[in-house]
Structure 1
Amino acid sequence: MALDLYAGIPVTEYAAALKWYEQLLGSPPTFVASDTEAVWELAEHRAVFIEQRPEHAGHAMHTIFVDDFEALVAQIAERGLEPVERETYSNGVRKATYRDPDGNEIGFGGAPV
């Protein structure tokens, strides 16, 4: 069974969120769906999007697993964002958590070293 993922992140102010997510993800959106929605395709059939929906903003929680965890966290730091939390779980999996201006939680995870 083929699966697609289209994960939404509600935000209060589209323009501010767009700038922050471009900084976090390192690129402009893959496409702009409307005046209040932008989409980043992270991999084939896997995308995250922001949408101005102030009544729901601040409640998203997404974790994205990557091959080179340390390199990604370093690249994000070079763009001026630092994780609000870094964790290593008992099985060695690592996670860096970022929070956007609304408090939405975007985490990146990586396999044990």
Structure 2
Amino acid sequence: MSVDHVLAVVPVADFEAARAWYERLLGRPADNRPMEDLAEWQVTGSGWVQVFRDEERAGLGLLNLAVDDLDRHVADLAERGVEAGAIRAATKDVRLSTITDPDGNEVTFIGNFRVRY
């Protein structure tokens, strides 16, 4: 099996409020609006974040995004009016900062993340 793209779906109840919040979070408007209640941001070469109206599942999502410079990323978020959680240590020099969207979905930014096999 060959996988061409990975799409992380974040379920929300109030689509327009969530779309605006994710625009601030990701620093730009959606890259694609394929349906009325779906917005997509391409965050890596083949990785996408989708915000989708799904009232039954809203608030149950977990989204992890590895970033190149966690301190700078958290500062950039603050400049866009999005207050990230405190940076905390995990294991193997990995650091985390978690934020909750308006529906209660958790978005965790990961710094110093390296895939180890």
- Structure 1 counterpart SS, 2:22: helix
Give unpaired runs (5+ residues) of structure 1: none
Q: 2:92 aligns to what? A: 91
- Structure 1 counterpart SS, 2:42: strand
- Following TM superposition, the consecutive aligned residue runs of length 4 or more in structure 1 with deviations greater than 6 angstroms are none
Q: 1:55 aligns to what? A: 56
Identical pairs, percent: 35
- Structure 2 counterpart SS, 1:50: strand
Are 2:18 and 1:17 aligned? yes
CA contact (8 A) 1:85 1:98 kept: no
C-alpha distance after superposition, 1:15-44 (max 9, x if no partner): 000010001110000111111000000011
Query: TM-score, structure 1 length as denominator?
Result: 0.92
**Number of aligned residue pairs:** 112
Distance 1:32 1:90 in 2: 37
Query: TM-score, structure 2 length as denominator?
Result: 0.89
- Structure 2 counterpart SS, 1:33: strand
Q: 2:45 aligns to what? A: 44
Distance 1:59 1:98 in 2: 14
C-alpha distance after superposition, 1:57-108 (max 9, x if no partner): 0011111111111111110110011123432114221111110011000111
CA RMSD of aligned residues (A): 1.4
